[in-house]
Amino acid sequence: MRLTKMSHACVRLEKDGRTLVIDPGGFSERDAASGADAILVTHEHADHFDEGRLRTALESRPGAEIWTLKSVAEQIAAAFPGRVHTVGHGDTFTAAGFDVQVHGELHAVIHPDIPRITNVGYLVDGGRVFHPGDALTVPEVAVETLMLPVMAPWNKISEVIDYVREVGPQRTYDIHDALLTDLARPIYDRQIGNLGGAEHLRLTPGTTAEV
């Protein structure tokens, strides 16, 4: 499986000539979802869900489909009958040849005064890759590659390190990193790499790795 890191929280997975894209939001490239056979969206926040990007992807590729939670699906389903699927915790499905399990229910706490919204994570091909969205969800299966939300208004580095320890993946790749300056990246790389207990890796947007 080939993993391509796009900006912020978006990743593209390719296998057997088909492409799965997760979270092509407003902080990602305009063409982040272009050519996708399937798109997964973890939640409704604009840095993960951009209606314009999804509409462009679906209009340009008639066979493309979306799997997401209710709050996103209800904003786009009417325009694409039969192509937008609503999922929740515990669901399993196949998208563009990838086996997907849904884990998690709520977005991490940003502040006690801000109501929590729904958030789901996607476990791809039995644990080959896990993208948790905006939550520190721990799936009850082994994870090879964890897409790690490294910098967000709702987390701090100690929580990120403890999350890596709890999931226990073979490796992590940074996501949710648009708010992290290049000046601070070496600090995060060193601390997470030294303390997390897993190989900590980072891809610049547009670069790929085999996972």
Q: Measured between alpha carbons, how far is 206 from 28 in angstroms, rounded to an integer?
A: 11
Dihedral pair phi/psi, residue 190, rounded to 5°? -70, -50
Domains and CATH numbers, the chain: 2-204 (3.60.15.10)
Q: What is the pLDDT of residues 99-156, one digit of tens each?
A: 999 999 999 999 999 999 999 999 999 999 999 999 999 999 999 999 999 999 999 9
Q: Measured between alpha carbons, how far is 86 from 15 in angstroms, rounded to an integer?
A: 24
Quote the pLDDT of residue 36.
Answer: 97
Confidence class for position 49, pLDDT limits 50, 70, 90: very high
| pTM beyond 0.75, yes or no | yes
CA-CA distances (angstroms) from residue 136 to 53, 104, 172, 182?
26, 9, 13, 24
Handedness of CA 96, 98, 103, 108 (dihedral sign): negative
Quote the pLDDT of residue 64.
Answer: 97
Confidence class for position 60, pLDDT limits 50, 70, 90: very high
